[in-house]
A and B are shown apart, each in its own frame.
Chain A
Amino acid sequence: MLIDPEKCIACGQCEVYCPVGAITIGDECAEIDFDECTECYNCLRMAHCPADAIYQQKLEWPRTVRSVLSDVLTIAPESGISGRGTEEMKTNEVTGRFKHGWAGIGIEVGRPVVGARFYDVEKIAMAMAKLGVEFESSNPTTSLMSDVKTGKFKDDVLNEKVLSAIIEFSVPLETLDQVLSGLKQVSRQIETVFSLCVASRVAPDGSIPTHSVMHQNGVWFAPNGKTNVGLGRPLIKEDSI
C-alpha cells in the first residue's frame, strides 16, 4: 500500500488502522513504511481517506504473499477460503482430518499484534520437520515451502512480512510431547510471537486425550476454545458406523 504525497493532507486518519504501526504522519503528509506494510488493506478499507491519497500499487511476487496472508478478504487458492488457514477441525465430522489417536497442530506465527517475517516461520517449520511431521498440503503457508520434508521456505519469501502465517500438521498423540518440547525450544530463537492450538477428537467417554499430554508437559491451555458439534453431513465413515 502507498500514500500519494501530492494528495495527502496529513490528517492522520489512517494511522490508527495499521496493525503493524507502519504509517507515520509527517508535517505535510503521511508515509507508509513499505518494508513493514503487510498489504492487509485495513487502511484503504477503513480510514476513508478524505484526500483519496491511499492506493494499492500493483502487487508482484513475492510481495503477493503479504496480501494472501494478511488481507482477510483475499481468497487463498490452496484452501479456496478466505483467511490464512484451512477447514481444519471446523468440518472434521465430514472430512475426518483429525482421527482418534491424533492431534492437529496450528502454529500461527505473528499472531497476535506483532506480525512475522518468513525467516521466523521457517525456523519453527524446520524444527517441526525434524520430528517427521507432514505439513497440511492445502494450507497456503505450506505452498511457500521449497522442501516440505525439511520445512525450508523459498528464498525469495524469507524477508516477506505478513500479519500471520499458520504452520499446520497432524501428529499421533504419542508425538505431541515432542512437538511441545520442540516449540518451547524454538520459541526462544524467534523475533516474534505465535499463537498455538491443538485439536483432537473427543474420546467416546467424553474426555479430551490431548489434555493429559499438556498437563504432563506443564503447558497451559485456555478455558475457552472451539467445539465442533457434529452437525455436518454426510458424516465421515469413522463416525457413521
Chain B
Amino acid sequence: MTHTLHRVGNPESLSRDYILLFMPSKDINHVGSGPKLRKMLEISLKNGAIRIGDCRLGNEYYQGGLDKLLEHVEDRAVVHAVFNDLEKMTAALKELKSADLGLSVVVSGLFDKVRECCKISELPFHTVNNSLGRWGRTDRLPPQDVLELNTMCGHGMVTVKLIEDTATKVKNREMTPEQGAERLFKPCMCGIFNADRAAGLLEAMAQK
C-alpha cells in the first residue's frame, strides 16, 4: 500500500530522492494497461530516471536486465521510476501529461518540491498521503542511518544485517560506496531503492 512512503531522512538527503509510481485501477482502466505502463517507464528513462522497477515481477536485476523488465510489464502491474534530480523528474511529468496515457501517477518526495514541480507541469495536487512516522516499540528500531537505508525499500527486503555488513565492507575499503549501494539495491524487488542516495549515506557511515 505504502511502499514508497515512510522514507526516513533529512531534507537535504531527501532532496535527491523522488519516485514516480504508475498504476492502473482494477476494473476501471486496467485492461490494456501493460503497453501504457511500459511507455511511462520509457518516458521516465528518456528524462533521466536512475532506476525503474516492477512490483509484480521484480527489479531489473531479478528479471535479468532493463530490456527484459520493459518487455515483461503486464496489465495490472505497478511500476516505478526513481529520480535523483527534481528537474529531470519535472521534465518526465510534463511529458507524461502530454502523453495522456490515462493511468494514475503518484509522486513520492518532499511535498514542497513536488508542489513546485506540479505547478510547473500544470498538474493538480489531487490527493496526498502523509507519513506520521513510527509508533509503538520504536526502541526496537536500528539507528537513524541504518533506518534511512532500510526504509528505501518499503517492503523491508534491504535488511539491517545486510546494511551493517555492507557499511563495514565500505568502511574497510572492501567495496566502494557505489558497489555497496548496488548490493543493497538488489533485494528491493520493486526497484524503488535509490542507489545514488544510498551511496552517499554509506560514504557518510564509513566516515564515522
Contact = CB atoms under 8 A, between A and B. Distances in A.
Contact of B133 (A93, A168, A196, A234): A196
A75 B77 CA distance: 11
Interface string A202-241: 1000101011001000011111111111111110000100
Interface residues of B, number: 79
A91 B28 contact: yes
Given A15-B161, A17-B187, A223 B25 contact: no
A210 B131 CA distance: 12
A112 interface: yes
A220 B6 CA distance: 13
Interface string A179-208: 000011001101111111111111000101
Nearest to A168: B1
A105 to B, nearest CB: 10
Contacts of B84: none
Contacts of A194: 134-136
B136 A18 contact: no
A164 to B, nearest CB: 7
Interface in B1-36: 1-7, 9, 11, 14, 17, 21, 23-26, 28-29
A39 to B, nearest CB: 13
Contacts of A45: 62, 187
Interface string B102-143: 111111111110100010010111111111111111101110
Interface string B88-114: 000001001100111111111111101
Contacts of B134: 112, 193-196
B55 A89 contact: no
B11 A231 contact: no
B159 A42 contact: yes
B129 A88 contact: yes
B126 A19 contact: no
A113 B23 contact: no
A104 B128 CA distance: 10
Interface of A: 15-19, 21, 40, 42, 45-46, 72-73, 75, 79-95, 98, 104, 106, 108, 111-114, 139, 163-164, 166, 168, 183-184, 187-188, 190-202, 206, 208, 210-211, 214, 219-234, 239
Interface of B: 1-7, 9, 11, 14, 17, 21, 23-26, 28-29, 55-58, 62, 76, 78, 93, 96-97, 100-112, 114, 118, 121, 123-138, 140-142, 147, 150-151, 154-157, 159-162, 165, 186-187, 189-190
Closest 9 CB pairs of A and B: A85-B1, A232-B104, A233-B102, A230-B126, A91-B25, A226-B129, A196-B132, A199-B129, A222-B131
